[in-house]
Structure 1
Amino acid sequence: MTIKQIEQSIEGLDLDKALEKLYCFKDEFGDKVDKIIEKYEKKKLKYEKELNRYLGMCIYEKEAYQRGYKMIAGIDEAGRGPLAGPVVAAAVILPQDVFIEGLNDSKKLSETQREKLFDVINDKALGVGIGIVDEKQIDQINILNATKVAMKLAVCNLKIAPDILFIDSLRLDDINIVQNPIIKGDAKSVSIAAASIIAKVTRDRILKEMDAKYPMYGFSKHKGYGTGEHIEAIKKYGICPIHRVSFTKNFVV
């Protein structure tokens, strides 16, 4: 067998089985397979490191399962700080013992990584709910209250009822479900991290659509945040219908 044929023969196998087969090939083909073995050993170390990181983000979930909770909904939002567009919240219920490689706080991921994980989460989750509160309601009730409304909507839009909520930092009023607010939860809980990705990607897609409608503001680049470019555009063109009046009044002449 050639090196290429050896590599083809282990494609699709999990790392342990691939290495087991490679060591069998070593008995037959000798040093010829050493580089492939080294490559797969590195892959295994990388995988184990990622798995351990992920398991470290499952501590809150593990404790909740041990206490008898079965449907844990992680909740997070995107868009509290921008000058334009809605605040978007997501609620995600993951299966127990699921491993989603690369899952992390959305702020620690690139746009490409978030987009890929968005599809994986939607595919593997038991339930995903989205809540959106637009800029007009944000101006009416303030961003904190709007965030809480979006989070409640996200919970209501879950197809499966959760029995406990893991929320990034906040506590929701008037909701009859056990809550566990976790400070910096998007970096500590896989459920909240998953919600942070769903919320961020959903909101970014909305702002990209708005960029086509209001191209002078550059929404596809900054997603409504107060960059220098965005503030200069507001000063030049004024605000558009998706700007938050309460956030932009200091920039409008």
Structure 2
Amino acid sequence: MTVKEINELVRVNQDDLDDFQLKQLRDDSRLSVQKIYHSIQLRKEKMEEERKRVQILYKTEEDLWKQGVSPVAGIDEAGRGPLAGPVVAAAVIFDRPIHIPALNDSKKLSEKKRYQVEELIKEAATAWATGVVDAATIDTLNIAQASFLAMKLAIKNLNIVPKHILVDGFNIPGALQKQTPLIKGDQISASIAAASIIAKCTRDRIMSQYSDKYPFYNFEVNKGYGTKDHYQNLRDFGLTPIHRKTFIKL
């Protein structure tokens, strides 16, 4: 095969080359083919490292499954800090370790990657749901209690009742299930990481929709957070019904 043909073969079938094809590339004396072979090997090594990283994220869930505890739901929220918009929580249930490439704390992923991983989570999860609490309720309850309410709504909205819940941070007051709070849970638990991604993506979509209704605030960009531009828009145009009045000091 010519180098051009090999490049095309690898481009189309890089992850499906069999041992014989890889051996041919390995034993080819052409320097350009050697570079192609080594790039394939490097990619395989990175994929294996990623597989192992994601597998480790299921440790807490697997410990519970081994004890006969199932279903287990991971819970996380997004939107505690913004000046506008709701706080959104998500709950995700996996019934076994499923490899979802790039599954991680939502803050460690780019916006494009978050949406890609969100789709993989929704396809792989046994169940998932969200809970949304609006700005007016946040002002009434305070953000901590509103976040807990969003989490309880997410659990309630699941079509499967979890036996145990894993929570990022602290126990949810009044939750009916046994629970395990995990500090930085979105970095060490697969189901919490998945919940963090769904919660963040759901909230971002809500804020983009609000941007159509309130075009002067650039919600599609700042997502309601207190950027310099957002504060200036507040001074110029005042509050909207989705702003958290208790959060804003101009």
TM-score by length of 2: 0.92
Measured against aligned partners, the alpha-carbon deviations of 1:30-54 in whole angstroms (never above 9, x if no partner) come to 5474232212101111112212222
1:4 and 1:137 map into 2 onto residues whose CA distance is: 62
CA RMSD of aligned residues (A): 1.9
1:80 aligned onto 2:74: no
SS of 1:122's partner is: helix
2:92 is matched with: 92
Aligned-pair CA distance for 1:220: 1.1
Which amino acid in the other structure matches residue 201 of structure 1? C
Measured against aligned partners, the alpha-carbon deviations of 1:145-173 in whole angstroms (never above 9, x if no partner) come to 11111101111111122221111012123
Measured against aligned partners, the alpha-carbon deviations of 1:165-211 in whole angstroms (never above 9, x if no partner) come to 11101212333211011011111111101000000000001101111
User: Which deviates more from structure 2 when the two are superposed, residues 161-170 or residues 99-108?
Assistant: 161-170
Q: Does the Cα contact within 8 Å between 1:104 and 1:194 map onto a contact in 2? A: yes
1:110 is matched with: 110
C-alpha change, 1:18 and 1:42, in structure 2 (3 Å) is farther
Which amino acid in the other structure matches residue 111 of structure 1? E
Which amino acid in the other structure matches residue 124 of structure 1? A
Which amino acid in the other structure matches residue 197 of structure 1? I
Unaligned runs of 5+ in 1: none
1:167 is matched with: 167
Structure 1 residues 12-23: aligned runs within 5 Å? 12=13, 14=15, 17-23=17-23
TM-score by length of 1: 0.91
User: Which deviates more from structure 2 when the two are superposed, residues 173-182 or residues 203-212?
Assistant: 173-182
1:236 is matched with: 236
Aligned-pair CA distance for 1:5: 3.9
1:67 is matched with: 67
Q: Does the Cα contact within 8 Å between 2:78 and 2:203 map onto a contact in 1? A: yes
1:216 is matched with: 216
Percent identical residues: 44
Q: Does the Cα contact within 8 Å between 2:51 and 2:101 map onto a contact in 1? A: yes
C-alpha change, 1:244 and 1:25, in structure 2 (3 Å) is closer
2:205 and 2:25 map into 1 onto residues whose CA distance is: 48
Q: Does the Cα contact within 8 Å between 1:19 and 1:37 map onto a contact in 2? A: no
Measured against aligned partners, the alpha-carbon deviations of 1:4-49 in whole angstroms (never above 9, x if no partner) come to 444555644746x54552204556x554742322121011111122
2:186 is matched with: 186
